[in-house]
Each structure stands twice: as structure tokens, then as C-alpha cells.
Structure 1
Amino acid sequence: MTTPAATPDQGRGAAPRRGRLTVYLGAAPGVGKTFAMLDEAERRRGRGTDVVVGLVETHGRAGTAAKVGDLEVVPRRDVTHRGTTLTELDVGAVLRRAPDVVLVDELAHTNAPGSRHPKRWQDVRDLLDAGIDVVTTVNVQHLASLTDDVEAITGVRQRETVPDQVVRDAEQIQLVDLSPQQLRRRLAHGNVYRPEQVDASLRQYFREGNLTALRELALLWLADRVDDALTRYRADHAIASTWPARERIVVAVTGGEESETLLRRGARIAQRAAGAELLAVHVLPTDGLPSAPPAAIAAQRALVEALDGTFHTVLGEDVPSAVVDFARGVNATMIVVGVSRHSRWRQALLGSSSAEIARLSGAIDVHLVTHERARSGARLPSRLSSLSPARRVAGWVSVVAVPALLTGLFAAVGPRAVSLPTELMLFLAGVVAVALVGGLWPAVAAAVVSFVCLNWFFTPPTGMLTVADPENLLALVVFVVVAAAVASVVDLAARRTVQAYRARAEASTLAALSRSVLSGEDTAQAIVQRLALTFGLDDVRLESRTDDRDWTVVAQAGRSAGGGQHAQTTAVPLDEAHRLVLVGRALPASDRQAVEAFGSQAAIVLEHQRLRRQAAAARELEHAEATRTALLAAVSHDLRTPLTAIRTAVDGLAMPDVELDRDDTDALTATIQESTRRLERLIDNLLDLSRLQTGSVRPVLRPTSLDEVVLVAVEPWLGRLDLDVPEDLPLVRTDGGLLERVVANLVSNAVRHSPGDARVRVAASAAPDDVEVRVVDTGPGVPDDRKESMFQPFQRLDDTGTGLGLGLAVADGLARAVGAAVTAEDTPGGGLTMVVTVPAATAAPAGAVR
């Protein structure tokens, strides 16, 4: 049985590709997980993969040792502890070998003291971080969460454990299983333990009942892992329909006395299927009407937890829809509801929540449970109106005020001034007005009161609740029916209006959020702020899981830290490494999709950030690789040229059978000197470039005399220069040694590119806030389109092929380090002028150093 691949870790920025972990999970010792791991190694090697054995425990079994075959084995590391030499996985040797795949047996093993890590699973984590795929083995009894269960079954306490999350994070988990009878036969044949251990093992740990229970534990644990993968798949592919891959029983509780009956019945149904889940859902009203007593809800929550279930609270304008939405969201297979507490006639007129749930459930089964309160006539708070409390009060006041006003008006104008049909129409208009203000039930009451007023005051014989003319009776009955129908339509329209406004607001919010995310304008902090404001939450946190499996806050927003006294905390997982934590009021079932949409946008933002980090790292690596390539290509020539000249001159001076005159000796000596200086400049530039790229340049800025810096920098080329550096220039704030290297590189470059014996001019002048040093040559100059790229490393400005093209790159980098700037200008008449702008020293205290 193999679980689907998990989502790879995210948010590692520029880190190398993380290796993939494959785990062979044994239902019990001796089922053959090491054999299965070695089979996997053979298959991978057959496909051309570089596979090595980091550590395989044979336990003296000849078959296992033979199975290793000719696989390359990395030697183990010897560790001496209390006079005993132990062998452990040599993580350093595996990292140096750097295979594609390494086999590491017994993931839960505890390393000997003095090892790299206390536990072998920590060694495996280092290998994965280095980008090496790992195939490993572990038995189900070593999973940390099952330690107590295994001890209860076998009577043996496992001392070596591995955190469940380490195994859950594996890309693939392969269950290795045998029936208890087969495993006991293998044990009896001596294929697992030595003969002297077989009898005791069969009587103790390897009893058939123990093995059956361990096998079930392994299957149930792995089923949870598979269910997580299924949930991610359905979410990634927007699958709303129910997939009954696992029994999930949702019990709809109202907080009433009958809820305990429903919960116990749901628990019994869940117990019939191994691995089934029990979930209780309570819907809170959103219309301001009283909900169930908090004490009752707390008691039912405790009961659910005692029955190994989970309790959930959601908000909902409509109870049946909220229950069904929740059931679909958790991929439930059955909903358990109670028989309505309303009487039969009330159910006939208004329906019941249980019947509506059954109608809406679709493919989800609905289990209807009777109870002592069924059809008892006990009434729950009405949820038919979505109007505000003030409008409902005004509506009930209008029940009396509107008919009384109309009756008084007709009495004042005279009994025969207005006909009965006109009176009926005006009273109907009054009922519609009441419906607009107070909703359905006030309008129905107003219709009844209007009927009584019309009958008593305006229908012959007046002053009596009788009607002489059958047509008048029919008119009054039609009046009541039409009034009730109109009131119902008005109330329904008010409901739909509220829902439409809410849907439009959610759609507008999500559309704006999506636009900002897709355009790259939004951040994780902005998303959590929008989420907190949109849903009125006390606190919203976007958390990320670190390497040590702790959760750290990436972004946080809300009205208060931690929420109020009755705040609820809900965790919404986004992926394996990120989740949203919502603190505040319980969110309605209708908001679940909107919250998931916000979570999806947050995941997109985090993914964009990760990709941007990776892109930036890739650009840096690309630049570094280009630099290395250019360096190797250029150094192979430019380092060898002066070295060859030096070697040739030295060989000429050292020849014993050749007598050189003074001129030849001086020429060879000058060649050695010139080549040595060239080599020194080349090495200096390489070292400076390396220091700049690694950020190890640490300038010390202090007031400095510029004329002293320039004179030292240009000394090797004084015979080719025209200097104009006044001694009365203001002090500059710089690092004298680094600025000297800047000027020297610029002058060297100018001299090399000046034709023949043409002289280079070096001049300095003061400006209000800085001092400029200008190095002017009359060489070929540089085209405008190359003036920006000329400061990049290995950019030669001519086709002579001499020099590495580092001088200007080093000069620009060192100038930036000391707060100066280097720019290029055209020399009037032809050539290039390099301008170094150095900030003037401020009135800092004497001796101040930054």
C-alpha cells in the first residue's frame, strides 16, 4: 500500500533541492521491510540511478547480507563508548560521496554518544537537506504517537521512537505487511531471530493477537496519511462532491436535551467502521435570536470528546444549509439528525430542519433518529426573519397603529363616503406597509386585525362580527389571503436582498484581492489584514512551520491580541508548511469558502515570494558562474603571459654557457620587473574583486588629504602624467588606502589605452559638498552603449586581448565601499574621462572614526 506523494517543502529560498524521503513502514518486526528497501535499490540502479548503501542492518541474517549484493556500501563510522566500539552511519562520508540515493535502515535508531546527532532520523534530515534522496525503514511500533498503544497491546515499552511528522513528510510511504500466521511461520523457520530466541518470541511479543493489533494500527495510521493526501487533492482540484473513501459521521446538535441521544447514536454508527470519524456541528444563529445555553453546549462538547469525536461551531443564516455545507466541506458520508420537536401541524405548514437537510444532502446519507422530545411541540427560537430588532419592534407596533389609523380616517369622512372595495384596497396597502417594516408575522397579524376592523366597522351589519352579504365575506377572506401572500413575498425579498449584498461584498473583496495578488502588489501581511477586517476577527495569524516543526508567525493582524473571553481559535491549513490561525467569533458555514479563498491567495503570495527568492538566488548563481567562467578563461592566458616572460628571463640569466653583456642583462631584468608588476596588479585586482563579492571590505572613513592619496596612487606612472592637484583642497571623508586603489586602477587603465607617448592628465577640484578627481586620456574612448557595462568584471575595452578587464570593476566597487562614485565622460577631441566624486569631510570632532 503506497500513499500519494506529499507536497514538497516550500519557502526554502535559495537552498538546494531537498531530497525525497521514501519510507518502508513495517507492520511488525520481521515482515521484510529491509528486503523491500533493497529491492527498491536494485530497481533504481537498473534505471541508471547512483545508489549507495549508507547503513543496512543484517542482524546476522545471511539472506539479508546476500541481498546487499554488489551495491556500493559507504563504510560506517566507528564510535567508542565505555570501552566498546560501535558502528554508526557516517553522515559526512555520505555527503562527500554525494550519491543520488542512499539506503539508511532503522530510522528510529538511537545513535551512540559522540555521534553527529542523537537520533538517526536527524542524520537522515541532514542528507535530505543536502539534496540526497533517502530510502529508509521503520516499524509501526516506533512511531511516537503509538507508543502507549503498543505498550498496552504487547506489554513492551518502545525506547526508540521517531516523531510521526518525520514519517508523514515522506514523499512516499510503502506499507510492508504479512498476515500473523505467515510472520509466525517465518519466525519458527529461523528467518527472523536466532533459534534460541524463537520460542520466547512466539510466546510473548509475536502472539497472533499482538500481531493482528499491530497490523491494524499500521493500517489505521497509514489511512490517516492517505486521507490527508486525498483532502489536499480534492482541494487542489476544487472537487465539491463527496467521495466516500472514509466514514465520517456528522451529528447536527441543537444544544437541546435530545442532542446527547444523537451523539451516542452517531458514535455507535462510527464504531461499526474501523477508522470512522465522529464530528458534531452546532449552528449558531445570525439573526440575534437566543441560541442554546452555553452550559448545554459545553456539556455536549465534553461528551463528543469523550466519544473520541470533534466538536465544531459554525454560523449560519439557515440551519439546514449550514449543516449540509459543513458536511460537504469535511467529505462526510452520513448526517445524523433528530426528529423535529415541532408538532405535526407545524411541520406540515412550515416544514422541518431534518426534512430540509435530507432534501439538500444529495449523495450524503441522512440518518433520522427519534427521541423523547420528538413532536413534543417544544418551540425553538424562530429564524424566519432576517430583519433588525428595531424594524421588528416597529412592525409589531404598526400591527395596531395602521388599522387604527385607517379606521379612524374612514369614520371621520363618514360611513358612506368610501365604498367597501376601496376600504379593502387601502387596508391591504396598510398590510403591505407593515410587511415592508416588520416582515412576515407582523403583516399576518395586521391582516387579521384589519379583517376584524373591516368586519366590525364597515361590513353590514356593522357593530357585529357577522357578514350579511356572501360577496363581502369572500372579499374579506381574499383580503386576508392576499395580505399574507404579499407579506411573505416582501419578507422573502428582504432575505434575498441581504444575501445578495453579502454575496456581492464577498465577490468584490475576493476580486480585489485576486487582482492585487496577481499583479504582485499584495503581501502576506496585507492578506491577513484584509481577512481580519472582512470577517471582523480579533486576531489572524499566518504561520510557517520551521525545520524543527515549530510554528512561527509570518504575518499577523487583528483588532486585539488573543481575542476576547468567548473567542474561538480555528486553524486553516494551507499546505504542509503554512496555515492560517483565526481567533474571534465563530465563522458561518457560508464563509468557509471565502476563508479558503483568502487562504489560497495567501498561499499564492507565499509561493510568489519563494519563487522570487529562488529567482534572485538563481541570478546570483548565474552571475557567479559567469564570473568563474570568465575568470578561468581569462586567467588561463593573462596569468600565464607574465609568468612565461618571467620564466624566460630567469632562464636566460641563469644559463651557465652563455655570457650576457650588460645591456642584455638589464633588458632581461627589466622584463622580470615589468612582468612582476603586471602580475602583482593582476593578483591585487583579483583579491579586491573577491573581497568585494564576498562583502569582506570594511572601510574606515576619516578626514583625509586628497593630494596625498593621489600622489601615492599615481607614482608608478609619473613620467606619463600631467598632475593638477592643489594642496589647498578641502579634506575628504574616505578610506585613504581604498581610494588610492581606485585612483591607481583608473590611471593604469588610462595610461594603457593612451596612444604612443600621449600624456594622461590627472586633475582635482572642489565643489560645495564634494571633491572631484578627473583622469583624462586621449585614447579611443568608449561608446555610449558600453559606458554602463564597462564597470562589470571581465569587460575588456579593446580587442588587444591583454588584461582581465578587472580594473574598472574593482575601482567602481571600492569607490562605492568608501561612499564615492565613479562615472565616465567623453574627453573633448576624443578619449575617455573618468570622474571620481568623493564627499567632503563634515565638521566632525577631531579623530572621529566611522
Structure 2
Amino acid sequence: MARGQLRIYLGAAPGVGKTFTMLEEAHRRRERGTDVVVGFVETHGRRHTAQMIGDLEVVPRRQVAYRGATFEEMDVDAILARRPEVAIVDELAHTNVPGSRNAKRWQDIQELLDAGVTVLSTVNIQHLESLNDVVRQITGVVQHETVPDEVARRAEQVELVDMTPEALRRRMAHGNIYEPDKVDAALGNYFRVGNLTALRELALLWLADKVDEQLDRYRAEHRIGGTWETRERVVVALTGGPEGDTLIRRAARVASRGKGSELLAVHVSRSDGLAGADPALLARQRLLVESLGGTYHQVIGSDVPKALLDFARGVNATQLVLGASRRGRLAQIFSAGIGVTTTARSGTIDVHLVTHEEIGQGRRRPLLTGQAVLPRSRRIAGFALAVIGLPLLTVVLGTVRGDLALASDILFYLVWVILVALVGGLWPAVLTAVAGSLLLDYYFTPPTQRFTIAEGEHLLSLLIFLIIAVAVSAVVDVAARRTREAAQASADASTLATVAGSVLRGDRPLPALLERLRETFGLESVTLLERRPDAPPSPDRPHDPSWRIAATVGGRPCAAPGEGATDVPIDDELALVLRGHPLPAADRRIVEAFAAQAALALRQGRLAQEAAAARPLAEADRMRTALLAAVSHDLRTPLASAKAAVTSLRGHDVAFSDDDRDELLATADESLDKLARLVANLLDMSRLQAGVIGVALAEIGLEDAVPRALDELGPHARAVRVHIPPELPAVQADPALLERVLVNLIGNALRFSPPDRPPEVAAREQDGAVRLRVTDHGPGIPEDAREHMFQPFQRLGDRDNHNGVGLGLALSRGLAEAMSGTLTPDTTPGGGLTMVLTLPSAEVREVTAPDETTATEAADRAIVQRLRRRTTER
């Protein structure tokens, strides 16, 4: 069975017409003979949207009971049984009521698609997971319902339903989106012109990325290698040389000329892994590319122009930036060079050859200098073999001269040349070859004892010997150099891997990096210096006031670059200074790579510190937003009821009977009680968070505390079943706070219990404590969400964030801990939630703590313990 296709109508904000457009498409498809049904369409009370459904077949919704209320959800089973060709399913990011077989509607849609049903759906840009934080930053509104970007990106078609901010605000003002009483608030908050403009740009950019993916997939499927200039993509080629900074900045200027252009830097590594670039320079250039908004890439290839163009065509690049050749004029005569070759093969890609200060300076290969060549001792040994060995070989061959022909003598000398090349390298071998040819001519080529050759064949043999000897010497020398380079590269890679491992395993990357660097090279100290803000550049000298220490390990730190044995400039603002012994050139290259990583670690550490400092502010802002959203409802409702009752009583236009008057007074009294409880909860929560709530501990029996809590909850609490053994000992608690906790716990249980199965309250003694269990038989709460429900201003399972403050459980746990107790959730057998309140037994407290003479002292100790625990958790 073929899988169904998903078509998404994407909007920048509510009200742009996504559902209306989707229904128009549904009518068009039905007119073409397609079997179309409406699985779920949310009209939000909009008259035009409801009319647009028209005579489309609507699959009845499924009724779901949750926490004493009934909700409507899409009936997936009914749609699958109906098996239409196309199903209309609104609101892709919708969260299903707990108890549904899928948590999110997009998962329901996946089932329909797997069954071969094509689905038309809608989503707003603020519901995409990757943009959730961005939208909250722009609008100040937290979107709790999100859909993974991958779900939307896998859709076969995504259509943008667009509308200008001014047109959308006019539609809002005409009452076509929200009810008239909500229009002014919406226009002044979420639907401001700036917000709508930013959301519109986000939608356009996200859709552009989606289109890019589709285009790349199309070009790959049809094997299209040419460049399609749909968007400017500038690729800059880096060799790892000092000219890289110039090329990157030039490429960035080229990319900045077009809106939405991309900058990509690429370095082609040779496939033999030996002729590499300077890793320190590449690391710094990578940081520069990323700071300019580009991306860094590395590919491997033996043919550099081919690898470079393959990468450029693979990313659909339109322009390629190369540096002019650093080779000398003589080298350019024998080879056109990478720049000229790439330009000749580039095809439709524009190539920019950028001039720089390194032109004509030649290629400097660090691995062929310093420690990369053969050591001095081996070169001396090679010359010694040449000087001592050749006379000895000549004497030996002279003694057996009658038994060997000239060709055999030449082979013996050739073997000796190869031996010298293996030991001493090229120049001792060349000396051996020249000296050997002269000795062959003088002692073994007729006429002997003279530097003359009688036969041309002998002359040719000596010339061939000399050529072969020099060629073999060069090959052996190159092989020895390559071996040395490979060993050096292996050592460098091992050092880098060790340092990287220590950094990854450590909690403090920058000190770990510097300490590993100090240990690796046996240094006294390693210091990362940072130029002070607004400090003018000055010559490096000891105690330069323009520098300050950003990080240091080891012994005495360096206060300025001039104080160390080795200093490695990182950029204009940072420098790495090493105190101890000077480093050779090869080791300095590795240190430069570490210096670049140290700069990155420093900046990342500071970003992490700034994020940590901003986290409490963000949390406070989140709490403030949630509090305002929730309290605005809970304050407004009782205030409105009380005001309506009092206003009615004060009016003279209506004559109320005594019963009506009593009912109005009761309504006002009940509303004010709700308001008082809300304010008390808020004050108690603030005192709890500040650690200053007063606790007066006393002995109290649960058989007295539970009935008082039930009386406060009113007549509907009479159905609660209470099981408290008469022999249960009293608890040590604050009577008023205990009553508050019980009211909150039993009130929650009543709210979520079905009418035919009321809550139960039971208590028993266990391990020197009294455990009171408040059990309901409602829908329950998943284990992974139970700790979340104890956070202030959280209401799990609510379909919006305007349904209560959500302080009950958070306040109850805080009050229980203030009384040296605990409050934990448990699962009710058969379904539901059980809250377990554990309090210390008064009898055990008398036996084990006779020195605790006052309840106030016990309360103080409980508060101190709770504050210490909170500090430890932080």
C-alpha cells in the first residue's frame, strides 16, 4: 500500500486564513472526484470558516472524559475505517487530551499517512520546535504546543498562507478572528505590527530552507551537476597559509552584497595525509569564518582543483574565491597551478582570484624544516660511510679484480650508494655517487690508473651508474623525509587527541587545556593573556599594563607576552605565553593549534557564564508571565462575581426577594473567600521561597484536622471516605498549616475524581511517622511529569494556561517540609493519583528528642534544614 502524502498550510500567525484555504482545496479536490472527509476542523467560532465546511462529509469526533470534563478529539479509528482518499485534519501541533492513544495530533496524522490516506493540515510558524524560543523572545508568549521540525520538513508540500501585518490587523479589528472583547488586547500585545512582521519573516525563511532541501533532492535525483543560481553561495578555498584571513574577509564582502547569501569556507586535505597545512592557522581561520556567519568544511582529495569544484557544485555555489598563487615564476612555468586549473574547469561558477601579500613568496612547508629533516648525527654518519667505506670497497674490489667485470663493480658501488642514502640522506649519497664514478673510472675502467675511458660503452655505463645513484639517493631521501613527516604527524595527532580527551572529560575546559599543554611540553607555567578593553597597542614588555590574565596554570604566571620564553599571538586581543624553555619550530606549530582552541574555550566559557547568569532572570520572567496569566483569571473571576452581586444588591431598579438577596450575599461571600484563599496562597508561597514563614508546632490528631479541612471545602466534600484508626498517634505539626495542606490535597482529589468513585483519606503509623494518603481514582499523572506538578504556577493537563494559578501542590509540599514532613505522589491501584503526606509522630518525637523544648525551635530547625537542602540542590 502506497503511503499517503502530507500537505501543510503554513501561517505566520493565527487568522491569516490557513484553515479557510485548506477547506477551499478540499472542495476543489472533491469537485475533481476525490473522496474527501473532514477529520477535524477547529473553527474557533469564526463564521466564514464554519461556512466553508459546507457540505463536506464530517467524521464524528470522539468524546474523551478527563478530570471531570468532556473533550472532543479526532476519531482516528473512524477515519481509518472510513478509508477516504483525503482527510482534512486541522492544527498539526495540537496536544491530545491525556488518555488518547497518541499524545500529539501529528502522531495521529502519521497513522493516517501510513494507512495510505493523504492529509491536509495546518500549522503556525510559532509551533515549530526549532523556532519556539525565537518566537517567545519576539512576542513574550510561550507556546506549549509544538511539533518537531522534521515532521513538517518531511511533508511532500508546504504552502505558505501569507498576509501583510496591516491586513491581518484589519481582519482582527473587523472581528473576523477573535471576539470583540478580546480584539483590543490582542492588537496591543501579540498582534503588534513588529511581532507580525518578524513572524512573517521567520515563516518565509523557514519555507525557503524547505524549498532549498527540495531543490537539492531534485538535483541529486536527476543527477544535475551544474549550478542553479537560486541563491548566492560564496565558497572560499583555504590552503592553511597566512593569506587565508584576507581571502575570508574578501569572500564575506562578496557574500554580504546579496540578501540571504551564504558563506562557506573549505580546505582540501591531501589524501596522503602528509603535505598538510598549518593547523594553527586553519583553527584561527575557522573561528574567523564562523564569526562572520559562515561555515567551515574540510574535504580530502589528491586532485585539489577537482575536489574543490566537486564541493562547490555539491553545495550549489555560485562564486568561488581563491588566492593568487604563492609559487615562484619558475614553478609556474612547469605547472599552471591550482588557481588557473580551477578557473579553467569552473564552468558556470564565477571564480575570484584575490591578490595578497604572499604572492610569489613560495610554498613554505613546515614539515620539511627543522626537525622534519634527518638529524645531524645521521648526516655525519652518511659522510663517514662515504669517506671511509669507498676506499675500503675499492681495495676489496681491487683484490678480486680479475674475477669481476666492470658491470659487477658498478653494482657494488651502487649498493654502497644506496646504503649511504639510507643512513645519511641525499647529499652524502650524491657525494658517494660522484666519488664512486671517479674511482670506477680510475681503477676499473680501461685504461686503468688514468681518468680516461677507451670505449664508449664504458663511458655510458659510468653515466648510467651516476644517474641511477643520484636518482636512488633522491628517492631514498624523500622516503626518509616522508617517514619522518608521518612520525611527526602521528605524534602531533596523538598529542591533540590526548589534549582533546582531557578537555572533554573535564568540567573546566580552559584550565584542563592549559594544564595538559604545560604537562606535555614540560613547562613551568602557561598563561592566556587578554588585552584590556580600550587599551592602546604597546610594545611587548614585562609588566605591560595593557594586558590582563584570563587564565593560567602552573607556577608564576606571565603578566605580559615579553615575560615568557615563548609567546603565541592568537589574535589582536589574546596571546598565549609559556614560561620555561623555548620550543622548537615543530612544537610551536602544535602550541599554536592549542592556542586557537584555548581562545575558543575562553569565549565559550564566558558565554556559558552569561547564560547561567541570565537563567535566573529568564526563570523569573517565566514565573512572572505564568503568574500574570494565571492570577489574572483567578483574581478576575471572584472579583467579577462579588462585584456583580454587590452591584445588584445596591441597585434600585430590581426588587429582590429575601431568597434572592441571600443567594447574592452568599455568592459575594463565597467569591471573597476564594479571593482571600488565593491571596493567602500567594503570600505563603512568597514566604516559603524566602524561607521566612512562621511555623508553630504542636501535637494534633488527624481525626481532628481532617474534619476541619472537609468542613472548609463545603458540602461537596461530604462524599470523601475517611479511614483514620482510633489508636493512631498524634502528629507534630502546625494546625493551621496542616489544615491548608489537607484542603489543597483533598480539594485536588475531589476535582479529578469521577462522581461514582469519591476520594479516600486514610492514615496509618509506619516507622515512627504517620502517613496520610489522599487517594483519587481520576486519570492520574505520568511518572515523568510528577515532579513538574510541584513547580509553582504549573497546571498539568490544562488545555490552556489560564485555568488557575497552580499553587496548591507546590505550596502543600513547601508547608509539609516546613513542618519536617514530606509530600510524595504515588499511583492509585486501578488508576488515579495518591498523595502521601508523611509527618513525624508526636510520641516518637517525645522519646527521641526530649531536649527540643519548644515548637518554635523545632520549626526553626526544619526551616534551616530545608534552606540548606535547597542551597545544595542549586
Q: TM-score, normalised by structure 1?
A: 0.45
Q: TM-score, normalised by structure 2?
A: 0.44
